[in-house]
Amino acid sequence: MIYSKKEGFRCVGDVVVYDEKGREFYSFYPSQRVFYFNLPKGQYRIEGDVKKLGGFLPFYRKIKLPILDKPRQPNNYKVIYEEGKGLGMIDHGKRIIYLSHTLKKNRAKKDFVLAHENGHRFYNSEAKCDIFAIHAMLKNGYNASQILAASDGLTRGNERQKLVFNTLLENFKN
């Protein structure tokens, strides 16, 4: 099924979601429990007792972004897949964001790194760019568990992973 916008779902029991290339995108195995989740726009095959709710579920408050460290940069950066520049790198002079080819295998990780690198248009610190990436991913329909999984292994150091977790926890709507 193709979803042209972020969507909310209700599920009873286990669910597995596959992306357009047949790779597992999201899964949850609560047995018979009812739960709710969101998916960003895209093409998916969903296995499980799932019902589309007709809208996005706002589980999180809008994350307050840090004060900008630098003037806004233009939005027209080109994305190029190239090795040797880490998982992601931004070149402001050339207006290019470089991403590793390995990110093509995992859409959520690619989206996190791309959002993080876009954050460098406004921020100097890695922590502020991580918050920018969380904000962007929630805005695009990702769940907290999807964001945590996407950032795992990308945010070098335990402190940055704690930041991702705590930012999501602090902004969860009770």
| Domain boundaries defined on the chain | 2-52, 78-170
Q: What is the pLDDT of residue 53?
A: 92
Q: CB of 84 within 8 A of CB of 65?
A: no
Q: What is the pLDDT of residue 125?
A: 93
Q: What is the pLDDT of residue 157?
A: 66
Q: Regarding beta strands 34-39 and 42-43, do their DSSP bridges make them parallel or antiparallel, or are they unpaired?
A: unpaired
Q: How far is CA 85 from the centre of its chain?
A: 21
Task: Identify any residues that bridge with 48 across adjacent strands, giving them in sequence order.
Answer: 15
Q: Which helix (H) or strand (E) holds 5?
A: none
Q: Which helix (H) or strand (E) holds 35?
A: strand 34-39
Q: How far apart are CA 76 and CA 17, in angstroms?
A: 32
Q: Position 78: which residue type?
A: K
For the whole prediction, is pTM greater than 0.75? Answer: yes
Burial 79-117, CB ≥16 within 10 A → b, else e: eeeeeebebbbbeeeeebbbbbeebeebbbbbbbbbbbb
Of 69, 17, 65, whose CA–CA distance to 39 is shortest? 17
Q: What is the pLDDT of residue 128?
A: 95
- What topology does CATH give the domain 78-170? 1.10.1240
Q: List per-block mean pLDDT (blocks of 10 residues) for the chain, which spans 174 residues.
A: 92 93 90 87 94 85 87 86 90 94 92 95 94 94 89 76 87 73
Proportion of the chain in helix, strand, coil states, percent, rounded to 5: 30, 30, 40
Q: How far apart are CA 48 and CA 131, in angstroms?
A: 32
